[in-house]
Amino acid sequence: MRRTWWVYVIAVLGLVAVAAPFLWMFLGSFKTQGELLRVPPTWLPEAPTTQNYDDLFAKANFPRYFLNSTIVALAVTAGNLIFCSMVGYALAKLNFHGRTALFVLVLGTLMVPGVVTFVPLFVLVTNAGLANTYPGLILPFLVSPFGVFLMRQFFQGLPDDLMDAGRVDGSSELGIFARIMLPLTRPALATLGILTFLGSWNNFLWPLVVAQTEEKYTLPVALALYSTGQNAQNFGLLMAGAVVVVVPVLVIFLAFQRHVTKGIAITGIK
Amino acid sequence: MSSVSARGRQTAAAWILTLPFVALFLAFTAGPVLGSLGMSFTDLRQRDLRTPFAVNGVGFGNYVKAFQDETFRKAALNTAYFVLVGVPLTLVLALAAALLLDRGVKRFQSLFKVGYYLPVITSIVAIAVIWRFVLAPEAGLLNTVLSWVGIDGPNWLASKTWAMPSLIMMAVWRNFGSAMIIFLAGLQGIPQTVEEAGQLDGAGSWQRFRYLILPLLRPTVLFTSVTTGIGYLQFFEEPFVMTQGGPLNSTVSVSMYTYQQFGFGNYGLATSMSYILFVVIAVVTFIQFKLLREK
C-alpha cells in the first residue's frame, strides 16, 4: 500500500470520532443547565461558567472522593510494585519447591472476574471489620496475578551471570534481588505502576460494594451514584464530575504513554 | 559452598519473597474463588452475613432457580448479544486501524496510536456518563451529527431495539484501541519479505492480506478475541450507569443481575449466577483456543 492522502483523512476522521465525546464533555462542563438542554445543541459555551465545578467542590464533596481515589490507587500501586516484583523474581530466578505449583496458581487466576469473588470477599471483609474502610478498599488489590506475570517475564530476560557475580561477592540472596536485579527492572516497574494506578483509579464494582457511606466513596462510585440518583438530571454537574474523573488519568497516560503501550505489547494483557 | 546449601539459601529467600503474596493471594483471590463455589450451594442470605457457616446446603437449588428465572435468562441472552456482536466489531475496527497505521500512516503514527488508545484507559463510569449525553434524543451529539445528513435518530437509550446496539457502539468505541495495539505489534512482527513474495507472485493487496498476512496474525487474533471476549462477558458499568438494565430488561447483563441479587440479599443465588458466568468464560476461552489453533 502506498502512502496516500486519503489514508490520513480516514485517520484524522477516526481521531475526531474518538475525541469528540471528550470534547463534548469538557465544553459541556462549562455550560449552564439551560444551554445543555437547548435544541439544537451548542458547541462552545455561550456564557462559560465554572458554576458546575463550584457545585462539585462545595456541595458535592468531590474533593473527598478525589482524595479517596488517590489514597486507594497509591496504596494499591505501592503494594503491587513491592509484592509482585518479589514474587516475579522468585518465580523467574530462584530454585525452590513449589515454584511450578505457584506459577500455575497465578496463571489460573489471571482471568478470574471480580464478579465471581465479590460476594465471599464482602462476607470476609465485613467479618474482619473492614467494610467501609480504606484497608477494605485496598487489601484485595494489593497483589495481582497480572503484575506477577509481568515481572516474571521481565526478570526472565535478565542474565543469570549478574546473580552469580553477586554470589561470588558474598551478597545474600535477598541482597542480590534488592540491590542488583530489582534496579534493572525500572521499565517493567514503570509499566506495572502506571497500569495498576489506572486500573485502581477506574475500578468500580468492589468500591461500589465495600464503600457504604459517602466519605469512603471513590470517584467512579460517586459519579455513578450521582448519575443514577437525585442528581441524574443535573447535567452540568455530571459533565464536570466526568471531567474530574477522566482528566488525571489522561494527564498520567499522556506523560507516561510509552510505558503503557510497551507493557501491553510485551505481555499482551491489559 | 556446596550446591545443597546454595539451594537451601535460595529456597529460604524464595519463601521470604513469596510469603506476603501467597498470604494476600489465598485470602483475597484463591479463597474467595472457592468460597464463591461453596456459597453457591447454600441458602446464604444477608442476615447470615455474620455467621456465614451456619447455613443450609441446597444442592443445585440456586442453579436451578437461576435458570428458571426469566430475568436471568434474559440477562444471559443480552450478554451473549453484547459479546457476539461486540467482539467481532471491536476486532474488525481494531485490525482496520492497525493496518491503517502500519501501512499508511508513517508520519504522526504515535499521535494516532495514542489518540485511539485514550478511551481504553479512562473510567467506564465516566465514559458511560458522557455517552448518555452523546446519545440524548434531542440535544445529543450523535443525533445532531445524524441530522446534518438528514437522519432523524431515535431516542437511543429509551428504545428496546436501540439500547443494546448503543451500548455495543460505545464498547467498540472504547475498546478497539486495546486490540489495535496488539495487532500493531503483530503486524510489525511480520517480515517485509512475506509481502514482497506475494507481490512477485502477482497477488493484489486484498489477496496478500487475506492469504499471507491474516494467517500469520492468527495467534494475535486468538489472543485479542479471548481477552476482548472475557471483558465483554462481564459488562456491568455500561447498563448500570446508562440504562439501569432497561428499557424492560433489554440491557440487563449477567454481571449486573448478579449484583442486583446481591443487593437484594440473595448471596447464595448471586454466587451461583456468577459461577455460571465463570464457567462460560472458561469454556469460551477454551473453545476459542481450539478453533483458532486447528484451522
Q: For residue A71, which of A244, A222, A227, A219 has the smallest C-alpha distance?
A: A219
The closest CB to that of A18, out of B119, B139, B244, belongs to: B119
What residue numbers bound the domain in which A144 lies? 61-267
Task: Return d(Cα A257, Cα A263) in angstroms, integer.
Answer: 10
Q: Collapse the DSSP code of B139 into the 3-class scheme (helix H, G, I; strand E, B; otherwise coil) and give the result.
A: coil
Query: Do A154 and A23 fall into the same domain?
Result: no
What is the per-residue pLDDT for B203?
Answer: 80
Query: Do A136 and A70 fall into the same domain?
Result: yes
Per-residue pLDDT tens for A56-71? 888 888 999 999 999 9
Place of cell 450478554: B79
B87 in Cβ contact with B287 (< 8 Å)? no
Per-residue pLDDT, averaged over A237-246, amounts to: 93
Query: Do A152 and A120 fall into the same domain?
Result: yes
- Chain mean position to CA A260: 11
Q: How many residues are there in chain B?
A: 295
What is the per-residue pLDDT for B4?
Answer: 58
Q: Which three cell numbers stand for residue B71?
A: 430475568
Which ipTM did the prediction report?
Answer: 0.88
User: Which among A97, A115, A176, A179 is the top mutation candidate for probing chain B, defined by the most B β-carbons within 10 Å of its own β-carbon?
Assistant: A115
Task: Classify domain B63-294 by CATH number.
Answer: 1.10.3720.10
Say yes or no for a CB contact (<8 Å) between A41 and B140.
Answer: yes
Give the residue, B76 or B207, on which the prediction is more confident. Answer: B76
What is the per-residue pLDDT for A1?
Answer: 47
Per-residue pLDDT tens for B237-259? 999 999 988 899 999 999 999 99
Query: Do A249 and A213 fall into the same domain?
Result: yes
Give the residue, B93 or A38, on which the prediction is more confident. Answer: B93
Query: A209: distance to nearest CA of chain B, Å?
Result: 9
User: Which among B92, B130, B205, B234 is the top mutation candidate for probing chain A, defined by the most A β-carbons within 10 Å of its own β-carbon?
Assistant: B130
Say yes or no for a CB contact (<8 Å) between A249 and B121.
Answer: yes
**Distance linking the first and last C-alpha atoms of chain A:** 31
User: Which among A116, A196, A231 is the top mutation candidate for probing chain B, defined by the most B β-carbons within 10 Å of its own β-carbon?
Assistant: A116
Low-confidence winner among A218-227, A241-250, B47-56 (lowest mean pLDDT): B47-56
Query: Do A16 and A102 fall into the same domain?
Result: no
Query: Do A102 and A191 fall into the same domain?
Result: yes
Query: Do A158 and A228 fall into the same domain?
Result: yes
Which of A156-165, A248-257, B83-92, B245-254 is the most confident on average? B83-92
Q: How many residues are there in chain A?
A: 270
Q: For residue B239, which of B255, B251, B257, B254 has the smallest C-alpha distance?
A: B251
CATH number (domain holding residue A73): 1.10.3720.10
B52 in Cβ contact with B44 (< 8 Å)? yes
Question: Mean pLDDT across chain A, nearest whole number?
Answer: 89
What is the per-residue pLDDT for A270?
Answer: 42
Q: For residue A140, which of A204, A206, A192 has the smallest C-alpha distance?
A: A206
Residue A242 placed within a domain: yes
Per-residue pLDDT tens for B52-63? 888 888 889 999
Number of A to B CB contacts under 8 A, please give it.
292
Q: Domain total for chain A?
A: 2
Partners of A270 on chain B (C-beta within 8 Å) are: 120, 178, 227
What is the per-residue pLDDT for B56?
Answer: 86
Asked if residue A269 has pLDDT above 60, the reply is no
pTM of the model: 0.90
Say yes or no for a CB contact (<8 Å) between B11 and A241.
Answer: no
Per-residue pLDDT tens for A153-188? 999 989 898 888 888 888 888 999 999 999 999 889
Residue A55 placed within a domain: no
Percentage of chain B exceeding pLDDT 90: 53
Q: For residue B116, which of B166, B209, B162, B183 has the smallest C-alpha distance?
A: B183
B56 in Cβ contact with B67 (< 8 Å)? no
